[in-house]
Amino acid sequence: MNSHIAAVELEKAYRLINHGPTVLVSAEHGGVADVMAASWACALDFSPPKLTVVLDKATRTRELIDASGTFVIQVPTVAQLQMTHALGTTTLHDNTDKLQQAGAELFHLDGYAQPLVAGCAAWLACTLIREPHNQTAYDLFIGEVTGAWADTRVFKDGHWHFESADPAWRSLHYIAGGHFYATGALHVVPTDADS
Amino acid sequence: MNSHIAAVELEKAYRLINHGPTVLVSAEHGGVADVMAASWACALDFSPPKLTVVLDKATRTRELIDASGTFVIQVPTVAQLQMTHALGTTTLHDNTDKLQQAGAELFHLDGYAQPLVAGCAAWLACTLIREPHNQTAYDLFIGEVTGAWADTRVFKDGHWHFESADPAWRSLHYIAGGHFYATGALHVVPTDADS
């Protein structure tokens, strides 16, 4: 494992996606792994941490999540721009070499069956909370976060450090038509709450 | 009405929040209006456009949405940083002058009962799709977008123009403890799809 990967306290896991980044969704079942890009992922609760993600019925990743009951939401970086776009615009249904062609390398962590994508800034391992109505009517999936990690070069001690890290570590915010915005300048409002 | 406000085609309304900005949620019922900040809002569908937003049971805004069946999701800007933070850290339950003290000015558009917050970059008028189980179990609310508008100084012809607009127009991405990141640099991956 990359020596820069460190566990994130579960009660602070929401911070990994609170700024609304485009994410990669990965899953594995029966020896098949897939990764897709998703703009529509969002925190849902603090403790236990939960999140939502919208998964189109056409995606192979959704089938693997439905079969395995687990997945990972990870935060790709500017350095992974081309890979992220490729993972969001090709499907394993048509192209069994999708992951290799996109340049996505998977790894595993002890105690977790679901595959993680190397090189990301953060990872949230999730267990699917099955809600058949949401899944069928809205393509909306809910996951409980059971493990969280980040690369300490950009997230450390419970905080993102985009402003001091190399700009290639910034997260991505997709709009449409291949247009992504990177995370930008930090603005701090003085407050007594939180830390 | 601000002459820079222009309607956005409903099929492109998702682009107004696709990059995961922190939003303001506004609603009105029985002569009472409230606005809260929310990081946990997300697109859910393209056509008809839908979105999700997580609304804590303690918020007055949630009560107003439940009573009126309508709300607005709007995208505040760096210029509205202090206001956004104030709207997210005070409650109308305790402070009836909340909106005035935060500096939030409301306006209405013909044909829509719900109030909009002046000075934002974009607005999505929503009708609540009632899903009692989601609302009770997860504080998760679903809205169908019935009208969308943007300020043409930052969103025009179906596209954000953060890179050429004044930086004060950039949207906000909240993390925790008063820390917001602004939307940053544009990265474009060449593609045939979309326009």
Paired tokens of A14 = 């929401």
Mean pLDDT of chain A: 96
Mean pLDDT of B136-157: 98
Mean pLDDT for B150-159 is: 97
In tens, the pLDDT along A120-175 reads 999 999 999 999 999 999 999 999 999 999 999 999 999 999 999 999 999 999 99
pLDDT for B195 beyond 60: no
What are the pLDDT digits (tens) for B54-89? 999 999 999 999 999 999 999 999 999 999 999 999
- Report the CATH architecture of B5-182: Roll (2.30)
Mean pLDDT of B91-114: 95
Among the partner-chain residues B162, B176, B195, the one whose CB lies closest to the CB of A18 is: B176
Q: Is B22 on the interface with A (CB under 8 A)?
A: yes
pTM: 0.96
Write out chain B residues lying below 8 Å of A52, CB-based.
42, 52, 140
Provide the token pair at B142.
């679903």
* Torsional class of A157: left (φ above 0), alpha (ψ -120 to 50), beta (otherwise): left
Distance from CA of B136 to the nearest CA of A (A): 13
Return the number of other C-beta atoms located less than 10 Å from residue A8's C-beta: 24
Cβ-defined contact of B20 to A20 (cutoff 8 Å): yes
CA nearest to A163 within chain B: B181
Q: Tell me, what's the pLDDT at A191? A: 77
β pairing state of B140-151 and B49-54: antiparallel
Gyration radius of chain B's alpha carbons: 16
Distance of CA B132 to the CA centre of its chain: 22
Whole-number Å distance between alpha carbons of A169 and A183? 9
The total of other beta-carbon atoms located within 10 Å of residue A191's CB is 13
Q: CA distances (Å), A90 to each of A105, A118, A128, in order? A: 16, 19, 24
Residue type present at position B133? H
Q: Please, which pLDDT band fits residue A195 given cuts at 50, 70 and 90?
A: very low
Q: State the CB neighbour count (10 A cutoff) for residue B194.
A: 11
Q: What is the pLDDT of residue B45?
A: 98
Distances (CA, A) of B7 to A88, A174, B155: 29, 22, 10
Mean pLDDT, chain B, rounded, equals 96
Q: Is B81 left (phi over 0), alpha (psi -120 to 50) or beta?
A: alpha
pLDDT, tens digit, for every residue of A90-102? 999 889 999 999 9
Q: What is the DSSP letter of A165?
A: S
Q: Choose among B81, B133, B139: nearest Cβ to A189.
A: B81
Average pLDDT over residues B14-24: 98
Q: Which of A106-120, A127-141, B181-195 has the lowest mean pLDDT?
A: B181-195
B 90-119 residues inside an 8 A Cβ radius of A: none
Answer whether B78 touches A (CB < 8 Å): yes
Q: What is the pLDDT of residue B190?
A: 85
- pLDDT tens readout for residues A31-70: 999 999 999 999 999 999 999 999 999 999 999 999 999 9
Cα–Cα dist B60/B57, whole Å: 8
Q: How far apart (Å, rounded) are the C-alpha atoms in residues B41 and B152?
A: 23
Among candidates B20, B45, B177 on the partner chain, residue whose Cβ is nearest the Cβ of A191: B177
Domain assignments of chain A as residue spans, ordered by start: 5-182
Yes or no, beta carbons of A52 and B140 under 8 Å apart: yes
pLDDT for the residue numbered B127 = 98
Res B192: pLDDT: 62
Nearest Cβ partner of A184 from B139, B184, B195? Answer: B184
